[in-house]
Structure 1
Amino acid sequence: MASCPSPLVFLLVVCSLTGTGLALAGTGDCNVSSKKSCNEKDMCCWNGSKCATLTASKAINPLACGACGKVCNSVRPTCCNGLCTSTLSDCSNCGQCGIKCTGGMSCVNGACQCPTKQCWNGTKCQKFIGSLATDRNNCGVCGMQCPKTGASCCCNGNCTDYKTDATNCGVCGNRCAAGYSCCNGRCKDTSRDPINCGACGNQLPAGSTNCCNGSPSNTKSDNNNCGACGNQCSPGSTCCNGSCKNTASDTSNCGACGNQVPSGQKCCGGMPTDTSNDTGNCGVCGKQCDAGWTCSNGTCVDFRTCKQCSLGSTCCGGSCTDLGSDATNCGVCGNQCSPGSTCCGGTCTDFSSDASNCGVCGNQCSQGSTCCGGSCNDLSSDTSNCGACGIVAPSKSTCCNGTPSDTASDVSNCGRCGNQCIGRTGSDCVGDIQCMSCAGEAGCSLYIPAHYRFYDWSTFYELPADSLGYIQFTAIAYIDVHLVLSPEKAFTTPLYEIIVGGGAPWDMNRESQIVHIYGDQPDKADYYLGTKLDNPGNQNELWVSIDRSSRTVQVGKGVKGTATSTTIMSFHDPDFLDNLRFIGFSSWTQPVTYTSMAVYPLPESF
C-alpha cells in the first residue's frame, strides 16, 4: 500500500486512493510548488506529479467536494452539490442529497418531521388538536391512519378493532376476562355462549340446546352433557330427555329413550316383560323358574301337582284358588292380606275404612262421605263421627261442618248450622232459634267514659267480610261519637276513624269527619262541619257502612234500609283499605253509651 505524503491535504487524498476518491492510476502532470493544476474537470493531482481521474464527481465526492483537496469532515461527511453537509439535519438534503423539507418541516435524523404538536396535512405542518393516543387519523404518530374497514379505532396510540380485540373490547381499555373472547364488541365466554360457541359467530345449529365447553350439544340426549353441561351419564346409562336412565330397566325408556312399557309390565333387560307369566322373569326381572315349572301370576308353579283349575281360578301352591277373593293369595299367588283386611277384586282392603269397599266389596261411598266402621258417613254432620271417624258430639250438640256445636248459644250456628250471628259474644244467640239484636237490653249496652279517643278493645264487633258490611247502633252522647274500622282488634294503622260531632250548647260546631289514618304519613279526611247529632244527650240512631266494591265509607241516621234512614257522610277513597274486619268504639271529653249494636252483611243491591 502506497504511503501517504506529509502534506495534510495530500495525505487525506492519497490515503483514499483505494477507496472512492481518486483512481490509482492517472495521466498528465502537475506541479505542486507552482500550483499548476490538472486541466481535466474531474482530475486532481496524485502523488504530487500525476493527474488522477476522480471516481465520483466533485459535486458529490466527499474527498474532493467542489474542488480538489476539499475533504468533508465527520461533522458534515456528505458532499451534496459541491458542498459538505450532514443529511441528518440539512433541510435541503434530508436523508440524501436533494431531498428538501418543506411546509415548515425540519430534518431530524435524516427524516423530514413537523415540530412537536404539529402534523403534516399534505402540504404543510399545522397545529394538531387532539390526542395521538386516540386519533384514528394520527394514531401514535402524525399521519398514521387506522384502516377504515371493520371497526378500527385508536387505543393508546395503536390501531385496533374494538369488535375483536380482547384487550379493547367495545371501548378502549375494556379487557375481557381470562377465557373470554371479544365478539362484535362484547366479551363472550365461547365455552358456553350459544351465539358464539367455540368461536365468535358460531351459533348453535338446529337440534342443539346448549354450548358445552365450546361445542354444540343437545342436553336432552348427550350422554356427556345430560340435562346440563358436564353432567356425564354413568356407563350403561343413556341420556333421555335430559335425565340419565338405565334403558335396561326403566319402564319409561325400555331399550331406548321414550319406549314406555305397557301397563302392568316391567322392563327386563331392555325388553317389555309381563312378569306375571314370564318364566325367565317371574314376578321380578331375572327370576328364572325351574325346568318344567310355569310362571303364574308372578309365581313359579309346578302345574304337575295341580288338577285342571276351572275358569277364573289359578293354581297356587298346588291348589286352585280365586285370586280376586282369596286373602292368602290376593291378586297373585302368595300375597297374603294383613289381619282385618279382606281381598276384594284382587286387592287387600279394610271394610271398616275403605270408601270403595265400605262394609262389603264394591260398596263405594258417595262423594263427600267417609267410611267409618264399615258404613258411609258425612263427617260434616254425623254426631257419631263429627269431623273424623269415632268423634262423638256431646249430648244435645249438633255436628256443624265437622265441629260439635251447641246451637242454643253458638253465634256461628244459632238454632241451626250455618246461621251466624254477627256480634260480640256467645250470649248474642238466645232461645235456640234467633240472634239477639240487643234492642235496648241493659246487658247489651256499652258505656264508655271520657276516653279522649282511646280504644281499649275490651268490646269489639266483627264484619262478616273484609271491608264489607255495616253496623247499626244507638248512641247516647253529648259531644262526639267515635268509631274505628281496623284490620286487627287494636288501633292498628292504616285504618278509618269515624267521628260524628256532638251538639251540646257549649260545643255547637264540632266537626264530623271520616279519616283515613296512615300512621306514617299525613292523614286524609272528608270533613262535614254542619253534620252533628240530632239529639245531644238522648238516643241517636246511627249506622256506619264500608263497601269495598265501591271503595266507599258512609255514615247515616235512622235505621238503614228504612224510610227514616239518610246518609249524612260519604267518603270515596282512591286509596281504599280492603282488609278491615273489626269495629271498636270510644268517646271524647264526655261519656257515651252505645246500645242496640248489630252487624249485618251488606245487601247485594247496596
Structure 2
Amino acid sequence: MPRLSVFTLLLLACSVVAIPESQAKRTTICSSWCGANTPLFGVDCILQSIKQKGPCYECGPAAKTPLTKEPCGGKCIEKCKGGKKCQNKECQCPYEKPKDCNGECKKFGTDTDCSGCGDKCYVDKGEKCMGGGCKCPDGKKADFTKDVDNCGKCGKMCKKGEICEHGECKCPADKPVFCGDKCKPWKDFKEDNYNCGTCGNKCEGGKTCKNGKCECPAEKPVFCEKDWKCKKLGTDSDCSSCGNKCEGGKTCKNGKCECPYGTYECKGICKPSKDFKEDPYNCGSCGKTCDKTAGEVCKDGGCKCPKGDKPDFKKDNKNCGKCETKCKVEKGETCKDGKCECAHGKKSDGSCKQPKPKS
C-alpha cells in the first residue's frame, strides 16, 4: 500500500467533512504535532483532531492550558513526576536514577540513599556510604548507641572500663564513677585517702578517710587550720585550743598554762622563789621595786639599806630620806618627812635651839 502524505490526508479529511477556517488552522498545527508524537505517522491522531479530540486536544498544542498531561507512546498520560521520564509507553525512572522511592527516582550508593530508599548516612557523625552501607572512615559499620569505639559518632572512643549507652560514654552501674584511669564502685571511695567520698578529694594534715569523710585520728582529734594538720590539745604548743602556746616557762595543765610548782609568774615569766630575794625590781614579790636613788638594795626578799636596816625614810633618824643619812640627834635634830629638822629652829652655828624652860 503506498504511503499517504499528511497533506493528502488533510485533503481527504476536508473532502469528507467541511470545517471552519479557525478549526482548519488548528488541524494544520495538530497534523505536524501528531506526525512527530504519535505512531503511524499520526494518521489516527490527525483524524481525531478534525473532530476536536484526541491527543492533540489532550496534551498537544490544541489543548487547554495549563497542561496536566504529556504525550507518551502515542497517548496522553499524566505528566511524569519525581524525575521519571516517558519510556516504553509509561513513566519510568531513567538510567542515572533507576530506583523508584515512593514516586521519586533515586540512585542508591549515595549518603542519602545508601543501600536502599531512605537509608541515610549520618554525615554529621562522620559516616559515608561505602560498599553499599553507611560506615565510618575506617570501613566499620558502627552502632553509635553502644559502640565503645564509635560512641555517638565515628572515632569517639570511650575510656577503659566505660560502656557506650545511648551514644554517651559512661561507667557501668556496678562501677559508676570514673576516677583516675578507670571506673570504680562507690565502696572504693570510703577509705581511699586520695579519693575520699569523691574522686580527687585528698585527705591532708594527718587525716584519714573513714566512710567517705576525711577525719583526724583518735590520738590527734582536732584539726588546726592554721597549721593545717591534726593535733592533740592539752600540750604546751596547743593547750586549750589550736595555737594556744604556753610561754615564759609555763606548762599546760588541765587546759591552762600554769607555772610549775615552786615558781611564780612575774610579767609573763615563771621565776623561782629565790629570784625574788635579791631582785631590786621584784623584791619579795612581782613588781615591788626598791628605791635605788635612796640607796636601797634587795636582801632576803625585802628592800633594805646596805647595812641591813629596813628604814622608814620619813622618820628614821639613821636613814632620813635615804640610807645612811643621819640626823644630828645630839644637836636636837629629828627626821620629819624624810628631812632632818630642828623642832625649835636653828642657831647661828647650825645647832638646834633648845626649848625655853617652863616658868
Aligning the two structures, in what range does the TM-score lie when normalised by the shorter sequence?
A: 0.3 to 0.5
Per the normalisation by structure 1, the TM-score is 0.23
Larger fraction in strand: 1
TM-score under structure 2 length normalisation: 0.33
Higher RCO (Cα < 8 Å, 6 or more apart): 1
Q: As a proportion of its length, which structure holds more helix?
A: 2
